[in-house]
Structures are given as structure tokens and as C-alpha cells.
Amino acid sequence: MDFFVTSHSRFQKILKAAALTGSAALFMGASPMGASRAHAETLRDALVAVYNTNPTLEAARANQRATDEGVPISRADGLPSITNNTAFTELIRQNSANFFNPNRLINSNTDISVPIYNGGAVRNRIRRDKELVQAGQAELRGTESSIFSQTVAAYMDVLRTEALAALAANQVEVLEVTFQSTSDRFEIGDLTRTDVAQAQSRLSVAQGDLQSALSNLIGAREIYIQLVGRAPTDLQSPPPLPGLPETVGEAVVKALENNPDLIAAQENAEAAGYASEVAGSSRLPTLSLFGRHEYTNTLGSIADIPIDTTNPGAGSIPSDQTFVGINAGVSLRIPLFQGGRPAALQRQAFARENAALEQVIAAERSVIQQTRAAYASWQASNAVIESSKAAVEAAEVSLEGVRAENSIGNRTIIDVLNAEQELLLARANLVTARRNAYVAGFSLLAAMGQAEARDLNLDTGGPLYDPQVNYERVRGKIFDWQRDPEPEPKSTRTVDIEAAEPFIGPTLEPREAP
């Protein structure tokens, strides 16, 4: 148990480390503590690792690339198509009355079709798929923001659980001293057995609380490993959050303009409108050009044609062994009756479009609720920080006074134990409030659409992932054999990372601005 325990003097020194705010340049790589720690990790480092190796984010990018392909797939329906059918036939048994049947032949037909008009189906499918691409890109932004929010929470949870574990370890050490002192005073008759039992009871409870705190610390570190892909190593104080709003109204306005979930819902509604047009196009005529080239070769298996079938000696004429035919035309297809299918398809599409429009309003409501709630939580947590600081200062003074009064017999041991417990609770509340304020502030940025790599100025070791680049790459491709390399996973595995241990690191709280 010794390696779990932080000395009281060392704990006091660590506990005075500064808190939540610092220089905005930290998100661009600067760190007030990084220069002196060879293996320290900043929040920026964690977010960069998530951006480059998180499997959920990589899967979302791959799904968006699949969505991009919808545009060239729909465009292909409006482009010419050329097909060839070739067959070799061996005629095993022929009609004996027909002297001109071949024994074998090769047929090769090449068809070309050029769509001219299809009721607007292709045009509206392309428009629909372009809107789906835009919606997918917004959803990808939302996924990135969500993963970052989870990472920030995991990062702050590690810091918080380290701090709470250190508080619990310090409390055990303090209560061990109190219990020993109480036992010594009982031996000389200065205190009663009840005082000793009270001190022992509080010590036992504190030891159990320490084990729970260490278990929570392991859990927090494992969640961090799951998200970031590596174990947390000497986590540093987080940087300040950039761009937090002055008022809740300002936050809501920015959220309604930039929230990716709301943008995705709006784009999906636009796509549903074009899908309704596609459904109605099946009632309209289609016009196309067609051409066909036919080639047949009997491979010399047709017998020569006799000049006179009644006179075998009259000789014969060689038969043609190859035949070529070419035709072209215009095809007009006018649907007259389809059993009500087109009307049903359009009614179905209208219903889905109506649902998409309602989902826009639902997304708007959700964004407003999330933004206002995050703002309120952020403000409340900041207020709790201030009150908790005052509570810690008061509890420290109170504990010092109670101990002094106890030494002259004006206070009982239970008064000392209660004062120690109040100080522990005040310190724990302060640590939790600092964590909650930071997480709520980042959640507020996420609701406002400002919690992505581009907003945080992350240096990811290369250009940021831009889904538009892949869309521009594939949107105009028309060749059938243009394929990408075989898929390979890019994210890192955690199977080789050792299980988290409940050691208590030196960084307990976020850094305050000077």
C-alpha cells in the first residue's frame, strides 16, 4: 500500500498547482510544463492521437468515402453504355433435312445505348446524392466533435481520479497519524476507548474509500486507452478553451449556424426532396438511342451449296462462313399502366421527406437544448469552483483550530475527525468542479460547432483530413476499372498495452492562469 500513499507535504505542494486556464497557444503545441517532462502528455497530444488513430473516426471517414460514390453511380445511369455478348456453340445434332446448318459457330453482338431523356430521374438522383454527400460531411464533423468531447472527458477524468485518489491516500495517512496519536493518548489515560474506536472507524472507512478511488482511477485510465489508443502518461494541465461565448444567446446563435448535426439534418431534408422527384419520374416517358453490331462465324462448318441437288456431279458453290449485321434506332418507352407503383413510390417519398423536415426541427430543438444546458453547466461549475475554493480555505482554518482546541481539551476526537472529513469533502468538490467546468465548456464548444481539429489548431503531422478532396477525386470518374487499393485498417490496436495500474501521478489539477 505504501506506493499508493502521497506524503502530506508533497500533497500540499501538488495541490497548489494552478487550474483550468492558461495560454491559448497550448492547442498549437506550446505547454508551460512540457519542456521539463520528457514523457509528459498534453491534451493536445491526446486529441492528435485520436484524430490520427481512433477507429470510430476512421470508420466514419471510410463511410463518407462510400457516400461519395453515390454521385458517380447515379451519373452512370445517364451516360452511354456498351456491352458485348459473345458465345461459341457446338451443334451436336442437326436436322438431317437441312443442308445449310453449321456444326459450330461464334456469335458476337455489341450493343450501345445512349439515354436521351428519362423523366429527370438521373438529374434528380445526382442532386439527391450531392446533398447526401454534404449531409455525410456534416455528420463526419459531428463524429469528430463527439469523439473529441469523449476524449476531453476521459482526459479530465484521469486527472480528477488521480486527484481524488491522492486525496484519499492523504486522508488515510492523516487518519493513521490521528489513530496512532489517539491510541497513545488512550495509553496514558488522556482519552477513552470510545475515542480510539472512532478514530479506527474513520481510518477503516478511509482505507475502503482509497480502494474505491484506485479502482475508479483504473477505470478512467482504461477508457482513456480505449479512446486514445495508448496509456495516459504524466498528463499535464489542460489549456484554456478558445472561443467560449459571453452569453447564452450568443452561444445559441453560433450553434444554429454551425452545429454539424443540424446541418446534416437540413441536407438530408434537401436530399429527401430530390428523392421525391426521382420517385415521380417513373411515370414519364424515356427516350434513348441504340445501336447493334452483329457478327457470326460458322468456322467453316457449313457445307458448300450444290449447283444441282439432283446431279451430284454438277459441282458446288462455297458457302459464306461469316455474317455481319448493323442496325441503329431510337427507342421511346411510354408507361401506360404500372399497377399504381409510381404513385405509391412518390407517396412513400413524400412521407419520408415530411419526416426529414420534422427531423430538422427536432435537431434544432436538440441543439438549442444542448447549448443552453452546456452553458448553464459551465457557468454553474465555475461558480462551484469559487465556492469550493472558499470552502477549502475555511475548512483548513477550521481543522487547524479544532486540532489546537483538542490539544487543550476543548474539542473531542470526533470533532477533529469531522473537521478532517469536511476538508476532504471540500477538496474533492473542488477537483470535481474543475473537471466538470472544463468538460461542460468543451461540450458547449461542440454544440456550437467549434470543437473540431480545425477549430483547435491541432498539428496532426500533416494536412487535416478533408472529405471534399475524396469527393472531388471520384465524382467525375467514368472508367470501369478505376479502383482503389485494398482496404487496410489505419487505427491502432490496444491489445498490447498493459493493463492500467492505480499509481498516483504528480499532476492533480488543471493549471490556473497567472
Residue 511 lies in a domain: no
Residue 261 lies in a domain: yes
Residue 402 lies in a domain: yes
Q: Classify the C-alpha dihedral 346-348-354-356 as positive or negative.
A: negative
Rg, the chain, Cα only? 38
Query: How many structural domains are present in the chain?
Result: 1
Domain range enclosing 454:
2-78+118-284+335-474
Its pTM stands at: 0.84
The CATH number covering residue 195 comes to 1.20.1600.10
Residue 505 lies in a domain: no
Residue 100 lies in a domain: no
- pLDDT confidence of residue 187: 87
d(CA 295, CA 105): 10
Q: What single string gives the DSSP state of each residue in 333-394?
A: E-----TTHHHHHHHHHHHHHHHHHHHHHHHHHHHHHHHHHHHHHHHHHHHHHHHHHHHHHH
- pLDDT confidence of residue 473: 95
Residue 318 lies in a domain: no
Q: Return the residue matching grid coordinates 481539429.
A: 453
- pLDDT confidence of residue 289: 95
Output b/e per residue, 234-249; b: 16+ Cβ within 10 A: ebbbbbbbeebbeebe
Q: What is the pLDDT along the chain (514 residues), one digit of tens a residue?
A: 332 333 344 444 433 333 333 333 333 333 333 333 446 799 999 999 999 999 999 999 999 999 999 999 999 999 999 999 999 988 777 665 555 677 888 999 999 999 999 999 999 999 999 999 999 999 999 999 999 999 999 999 999 999 999 999 988 998 898 889 889 888 888 888 998 998 899 999 999 999 999 999 999 999 999 999 999 988 999 999 989 999 999 999 999 999 999 999 999 999 999 999 999 998 999 999 999 999 988 877 776 666 555 666 555 556 667 889 999 999 999 999 999 999 999 999 999 999 999 999 999 999 999 999 999 999 999 999 999 999 999 999 999 999 898 888 888 888 888 898 999 999 999 999 999 999 999 999 999 999 999 999 898 889 999 999 999 999 999 998 888 899 989 898 999 888 888 876 544 443 443 3
